[in-house]
Amino acid sequence: MNDNHLQETIRLANAVGDPKHAVTANEGIFLYNRAKECSKGVIVEIGSWKGRSAVWLGRGSQAGFKREVYAVDPHTGSPEHHRLYGKIWTLPVFQKNIERAGLSNIVVSLVKTSEEASKDWKEPIELLFIDGRHDYKYVKQDYDLWSRFLIPGGIVVFHDSIRWPGPKLVVDEVIYKTRDFMKVGIINSITWAVKKKT
Ligand X SMILES: C[S@@+](CC[C@H](N)C(=O)[O-])C[C@H]1O[C@@H](n2cnc3c(N)ncnc32)[C@H](O)[C@@H]1O
* Interface residues toward ligand X, by CB under 6 A: 21-23, 46-49, 52-53, 72-78, 90, 113-114, 131-133, 138
With 0-12 / 13-18 / 19 or more C-beta atoms within 10 angstroms meaning exposed / middle / buried, residue 112 is middle
Q: Which is nearer to ligand X, 86 or 198 (CB)?
A: 86
Residue 20 Cβ vs ligand X, minimum distance, rounded to whole Å:
9
Q: Which is nearer to ligand X, 182 or 186 (CB)?
A: 186
Residue 18 Cβ vs ligand X, minimum distance, rounded to whole Å:
8
Of 5, 10, 20, 18, give the one whose Cα is nearest residue 189.
20
Of 55, 26, 48, 47, give the one whose Cα is nearest residue 139.
47
Residue 48 Cβ vs ligand X, minimum distance, rounded to whole Å:
5
Q: Is the dihedral of CA 151, 162, 171, 135 positive or negative?
A: negative
Residue 170 Cβ vs ligand X, minimum distance, rounded to whole Å:
14
Residue 179 Cβ vs ligand X, minimum distance, rounded to whole Å:
28
Q: Which residues contact 177 (CB under 8 A, 6 or more apart)?
A: none
Contact 52, 39 (CB under 8 A): no
What are the beta bridge partners of residue 127?
A: 43, 155
65: DSSP letter: T
Q: Which is nearer to ligand X, 147 or 196 (CB)?
A: 147
Q: Which is nearer to ligand X, 34 or 133 (CB)?
A: 133
Contact 38, 126 (CB under 8 A): yes
Q: Which is nearer to ligand X, 41 or 74 (CB)?
A: 74
Contact 194, 128 (CB under 8 A): no
Q: Which is nearer to ligand X, 87 or 177 (CB)?
A: 87
The closest residue (CB) to ligand X is: 47
Residue 165 Cβ vs ligand X, minimum distance, rounded to whole Å:
15
